[in-house]
Amino acid sequence: MSFSIHSEADTASNYSVTWIRRCLVWLFVLVTFSVLVARLAWLQILDPDFLIKEGNSRVMRNYSFEPARGVIEDREGKLLAISVPVKTVLADPKVMHEQGVVDDAGTMSALAAALDLPVDRLAHLVGDPARREVRLKRYLSLKEASALQGRKIPGLRFIDNYQRVYPTGAGNAHLVGYLNGEGRGVYGVESGFNSYLSAEGGSREAIKDLKGNIIEELSVRQEGKVGGNLVLSVDNRLQSVAADELERGVLENNADYGTLSLVDVQTGEILAMATYPSFDPNNRERMDTTNARNRVISDVIEPGSTVKPLVALAGLEQGVVNWREVFDTRPFIVDGKTMRDSHAMDSGTLADIIRYSSNTGMVRIAQRLGHANITDMLARFGFGEETGTGLPGEERGHLNATRRFWSELDQATLGYGYGFNITNLQLVSAYATIANGGVRLPLSVLKIKHPPRGVRVASERHVRAMATALEGVVQAGTGSRAAIDRYRIAGKTGTARIAARGGYGNSYVVTFAGFAPVSNPRFAAVVVITNPKVKNFYGGAVSGPVFSSVMAHALQLYNVPPDR
């Protein structure tokens, strides 16, 4: 009987314990659930910012972008410089080592071929497993980059970039210039207008997927700036002809180098500017930087006989000469040095002195004028100052107008272009001024809508008479090889010794400067060829034919009617 009572008591006790345990479990579950619900309510309803921030941090990204640098075009819309979208390939050597890429000869060989790198060079670049980033290729075309991305090689990363391309290559290289490794302009327009052409990077916020693709643009955090576009005054059709003809002239005469400039007389726009030898800005590996200098604006020369018309204009202005006077042009001595002509004549008028390039006649005029009147006229025509094109590296030249002592010989040689130096571009500006009736216009390397206002620097009457005398140089004088069928051409030859240590050597710089057509001038051009090594090395024979060919193309291309 006692056994039965004990069993019922135990059963009741066990039931009580079980009930308490159940209550405690349910209480725990209820409390936990309540805490979770409360926490969820707090995070999602009362204070959702934390979750939103955490979620966004996993899908929202700030990314930088840089717009393309501005394009450069010629006056007819021909592209001279453009930025092409490409990819830059970066590598994470640590990942490549960890994933076994470096040890996989097949993968390394394929990667080297895709990047156009020697395998040993690639191995060297990714050889340090401690490095986290190294650039393998700066410019890889989008097509090649897409193919490489398809290989899914661990450790590679691709970023957007631009490559500067110059469609006309060497033809416009000196004028346009190129970019250095940091993306800044070097030489030419790229350098002179670098700040205008340059783009400024910006940053944006966007939602990206796991692969980094942009799903949605959200906001602009920093505005970028697109590079400005430039339209140059140069006409690539004429530039191409000028480059080819100049190359021919230099090679045929076995010269060191040459320069050519062509200007629109009516606007001051530079239509062609060529230097030979040139270089290809698209091929940096084989580029000879000694040929990168734009000699049209950076090389100074003693112009020789090409400045005789300006000295004569000073004489006409001062009234010390006239067109009727007959000068004694026989050789004579100045300061122990004999003044003589290469085209000897006993006497001649001012027109004869210009036509046959008489040094003795110009010395007599210079002696009457004095150095101050000559250098004043040269300065008015722009010698000794920059032309205002904005191109870097332009030399001002030296007139030596402030020198304290001028010997009798110094003053004499000043009359036929020695004792000072100028650039090709300054000389073409001077001849454009003569063609324009004595009104000097600033030169421009950019295409302009309205011609600028010029400044009169010499009497129109004297300048028009000088243009007629310069026409005689081409018709029957030293510049006959610059003639063009059916057009009246005015111009002047120049052959000057190149200064060397202790005096002058046996090398020459030969020039032809002129304009056309005489009846209504449209273009002026100057051809300078340095150190031709041929028997007939004079300016008319060497530079004249180059002038004739380029000027003929310009007149025909712009439909200028013949005037002869």
Eight-class DSSP state of 356:
T
Shared domain for 389 and 474, answered yes or no, is yes
Shared domain for 258 and 389, answered yes or no, is yes
Domain contains 428: yes
| pLDDT for the residue 160 | 86
Shared domain for 10 and 144, answered yes or no, is no
Q: Read off the tokens for 146.
A: 């897409």
| pLDDT for the residue 29 | 82
485 pLDDT higher than 80: yes
Shared domain for 209 and 272, answered yes or no, is no
Q: Which residues contact 198 (CB under 8 A, 6 or more apart)?
A: 69, 70, 183, 184, 227
Shared domain for 338 and 411, answered yes or no, is yes
Q: Among residues 298, 305, 429, 549, which one is catalytic?
A: 305
Nearest-angstrom CA–CA distance, 196 and 71: 11
| pLDDT for the residue 180 | 87
- Containing H/E element for 511? strand 503-516
Domain contains 175: yes
Shared domain for 241 and 368, answered yes or no, is yes
Q: Which residues contact 345 (CB under 8 A, 6 or more apart)?
A: 329, 352, 356, 358
- Over pLDDT 90: what percentage of the chain? 69
Range scoring the smallest mean pLDDT among 69-73, 280-284, 333-337 = 280-284
- Note whether 65 and 201 are within 8 A (CB): yes
Mean pLDDT for the stretch of residues 487-497:
96
pLDDT in tens, 90-110: 999 999 999 998 899 999 999
| pLDDT for the residue 196 | 94
- Burial environment of residue 369 by CB neighbours within 10 A (0 to 12, 13 to 18, 19 or more): buried
Nearest-angstrom CA–CA distance, 540 and 510: 8
487 pLDDT higher than 90: yes
- Residue-averaged pLDDT of the chain: 89
Domain contains 258: yes
Shared domain for 210 and 241, answered yes or no, is no
Shared domain for 354 and 380, answered yes or no, is yes
User: Residue 132 maps to which CATH number?
Assistant: 3.90.1310.10
421 forms bridges with which residues in the sheet? 398
pLDDT in tens, 429-480: 999 999 999 999 999 999 999 989 999 999 999 999 999 999 999 999 999 9
Mean pLDDT for the stretch of residues 470-495:
96
Mean pLDDT for the stretch of residues 127-156:
90
Mean pLDDT for the stretch of residues 177-196:
91
Which DSSP string corresponds to 101-115?
Answer: STT-HHHHHHHHHHH
Tally of domains within the chain: 3
**pLDDT band for position 362 (cuts 50, 70, 90):** very high
pLDDT in tens, 255-272: 999 999 999 999 999 999
Annotation marks residue 4 as catalytic: no
CA 145 from centre of chain: 29
Amino acid type, 229: N
211 pLDDT higher than 60: no
φ and ψ at 275, to 5 degrees? -135, 135
Which DSSP string corresponds to 44-86?
Answer: III--HHHHHHHHHHHEEEEEE-PPPPPEE-TTS-EEEEEEEE
Q: Which residue range forms the structural domain that includes residue 20?
A: 2-47
Mean pLDDT for the stretch of residues 330-338:
93
352 pLDDT higher than 80: yes
Nearest-angstrom CA–CA distance, 129 and 149: 22
Domain contains 58: no
pLDDT in tens, 507-535: 999 999 999 999 999 999 999 999 999 98
Tell me which long-range contacts 54-59 makes (C-beta under 8 A, separation of at least 24): 59/207, 59/208, 59/209
Domain contains 53: no
56 pLDDT higher than 80: no
**pLDDT band for position 2 (cuts 50, 70, 90):** very low
Shared domain for 432 and 456, answered yes or no, is yes
**pLDDT band for position 9 (cuts 50, 70, 90):** low
Of 183, 214, 229, the last residue of a domain is: 229
Shared domain for 152 and 251, answered yes or no, is no
- Note whether 88 and 154 are within 8 A (CB): no
Shared domain for 199 and 220, answered yes or no, is yes
Shared domain for 145 and 254, answered yes or no, is no
